[in-house]
Amino acid sequence: MNQIYSLQATKYAFVFASSVTALREHLQYCSEEKFTGQLDLKIQFAQPRPLSLYFEEGNLVWGDGGVHPIRRLHRHISRQCSAEVAATINEIGHIQSGSYEFLTTLLLQTKIQPQDVEAILTGLVTEILFDLHQQWAQRGYSSSLQLKFNYVPLSTHPLSVAVSLDALWSQAIETWQTWQRAGLEDYSPNHAPSLWDTDALKQQVLPSTYQNLVATIDGNRTLRDLAMKSNKNLLTVTKSLLPYIQQGLVKLLDIEDFKPFTYLAVPELVQSSLVQAPSPKSFVEPSLDAPLIAYVDDYKVDGQTMNQILTNMGYRFIHIQDPLQALPLLLEHKPKLVFLDLVMPIVNGYEACAQIRRVSRFKDTPIIILTSNDGIVDRVRAKIVGSTGFLSKPIDPKKVQAVVQKYLGRE
């Protein structure tokens, strides 16, 4: 520990831990010496980004970095906030890496309570410590772990919530050891299961099981995401899929993190801003009797792109950013064509499509799924849930125009 003491006069301090025990001692130092600042934990050649822990006077107040920081935060906010509460969160700010500010804003505006923040923080840090143990163990602890102490106070309003690092350390160790005993040490909870050999799978399981797997396993949700959505233990969910994974019927894929996004818009604001006012220089004002086209996607930028394309073609347009509000808003506005993004928080495109198709009003309405995952399995799954067609991202104006002309017959 002398290395740290000798460098406290500088802004940064670098030390190395060659064992789990040494790492534990360095973390205990943060508490004992009332460390304030950011601690980055990085295994050489093993992580895209350092895992980061934030301290205020020795208290652990935040965790960030590593794999899927935005997805991780969204998952824990969704777990703690009811759907009703989540749906009332206005466009406060963007969830992105380093989103301590976002949670602070929610707390200050009483959208969430201190106990919610504590639960979210506990979940974030436990996952971070688990990932650290797994990545380090996979390298046989042969690589030293670099710790970078940044002695700079947090620049944002404090959350006034802190958790015990000792308790979270013990919880992460226990979870990791249980994961190992189950024979899962080579499987990352950050990987997303995807159906791989659908024909062989269909022959091995009951039709109801197959349909459930098709609706659930879409290659866009990690094992952690699936556990949260099903309200089941991560270990239970993973072990239930393990036989299919071992047979090659299901594969575990690396997937991207969520894009930085505005969490959820207030339903009234979504409805009032469905038709955006076009710029006179860029748009042709649609007639009141022009067919209406809907686009369901949580990403505002893509919605603006679709707005420009479709309004220029003379169609009326609505952009629904909250997938939970998609069905009631579609029933209210009755569009002639629906574009549906595949990767959305809480409800993905497959689930949304299946829900829409169950409504007789939309039995024959064209539904086009947009995604960057343009594979055979994705197309088969989209067909099963009732999708009319598939359109790859990024959004291409010519392709969008071709789809609209094909199904609505307007130039």
User: Residue 345: which CATH number?
Assistant: 3.40.50.2300
Other CB atoms within 10 Å distance of the CB of residue 161: 22
User: Do both 216 and 335 map to the same domain?
Assistant: no
φ/ψ of 42, rounded to 5, equals -140, 125
User: Do both 92 and 166 map to the same domain?
Assistant: yes
**In the sheet where 389-392 sits, what is the strand order?**
316-320, 292-296, 337-341, 367-371, 389-392
Whether the pLDDT of residue 98 is over 90: the answer is no
- The residue out of 253, 284, 305 marking a domain boundary is 253
User: Do both 244 and 324 map to the same domain?
Assistant: no
Closest CA to 130 of 78, 171, 187: 171
User: Residue 410's pLDDT is what?
Assistant: 54
Parent domain of 12: 2-181
Query: CA–CA separation, 123 vs 12, rounded Å?
Result: 28
**In the sheet where 51-56 sits, what is the strand order?**
12-17, 145-150, 37-43, 51-56, 59-65
pLDDT digits (tens, 9 = 90+) for 188-245: 999 999 988 888 888 888 888 888 888 788 788 899 999 988 888 999 999 999 999 9
273, 91 Cβ separation under 8 angstroms: no
User: Do both 140 and 209 map to the same domain?
Assistant: no
pLDDT digits (tens, 9 = 90+) for 3-27: 444 344 457 788 888 888 889 999 9
User: Residue 280's pLDDT is what?
Assistant: 34
User: Do both 160 and 203 map to the same domain?
Assistant: no
Burial of 234 (0-12, 13-18, 19+ CB in 10 A): buried
User: Do both 240 and 323 map to the same domain?
Assistant: no
User: Residue 45's pLDDT is what?
Assistant: 62
User: Residue 82's pLDDT is what?
Assistant: 59
For residue 186, being part of any structural domain is answered with no
Mean pLDDT of 105-132: 85
User: Do both 245 and 274 map to the same domain?
Assistant: no
Tokens 């990352």, residue located: 188
Q: CA triplet 166, 168, 169: central angle to 5 degrees?
A: 65
- The residue out of 148, 181, 214 marking a domain boundary is 181
Give me the chain's average pLDDT, please.
79
Q: Which long-range contacts (CB under 8 A, 24 or more apart) does 137-142 make?
A: 137/176, 137/180, 137/185, 138/46, 138/185, 138/186, 139/43, 139/46, 141/18, 141/19, 141/20
User: Do both 148 and 227 map to the same domain?
Assistant: no
Query: CA–CA separation, 44 vs 260, rounded Å?
Result: 27
| 281 vs 256, more confident | 256
pLDDT digits (tens, 9 = 90+) for 387-405: 998 888 888 899 999 999 9
Query: CA–CA separation, 383 vs 119, rounded Å?
Result: 39
For residue 206, being part of any structural domain is answered with yes
Element (H, E) at 237: helix 234-246
Mean pLDDT of 267-288: 39
Strand segments (E) across 97-183: 145-150
User: Do both 170 and 203 map to the same domain?
Assistant: no
Whether the pLDDT of residue 274 is over 50: the answer is no
Whether the pLDDT of residue 294 is over 80: the answer is yes
pLDDT digits (tens, 9 = 90+) for 146-178: 898 988 776 554 566 778 888 899 999 999 999
- Print burial letters for 67-78: b (CB count within 10 Å at least 16), e (below 16): bbbbbbbbbbbb
Contacts of 241 (CB under 8 A, 6+ apart): 193, 217, 223, 250
For residue 259, being part of any structural domain is answered with no
pTM of the model as a whole: 0.63
User: Do both 231 and 321 map to the same domain?
Assistant: no
For residue 40, being part of any structural domain is answered with yes
- By mean pLDDT, which of 72-86, 235-249, 262-276, 289-303 is the weakest? 262-276
User: Residue 276's pLDDT is what?
Assistant: 34
Q: Confidence class of residue 379 from pLDDT cuts 50, 70 and 90? A: confident
For residue 390, being part of any structural domain is answered with yes
pLDDT digits (tens, 9 = 90+) for 346-363: 778 888 898 999 999 999
User: Do both 387 and 302 map to the same domain?
Assistant: yes
User: Residue 184's pLDDT is what?
Assistant: 94
User: Do both 231 and 317 map to the same domain?
Assistant: no
Domains held by the chain: number:
3
Taking every pair of Cα atoms in the chain, the longest distance, rounded to a whole number of angstroms, is 76
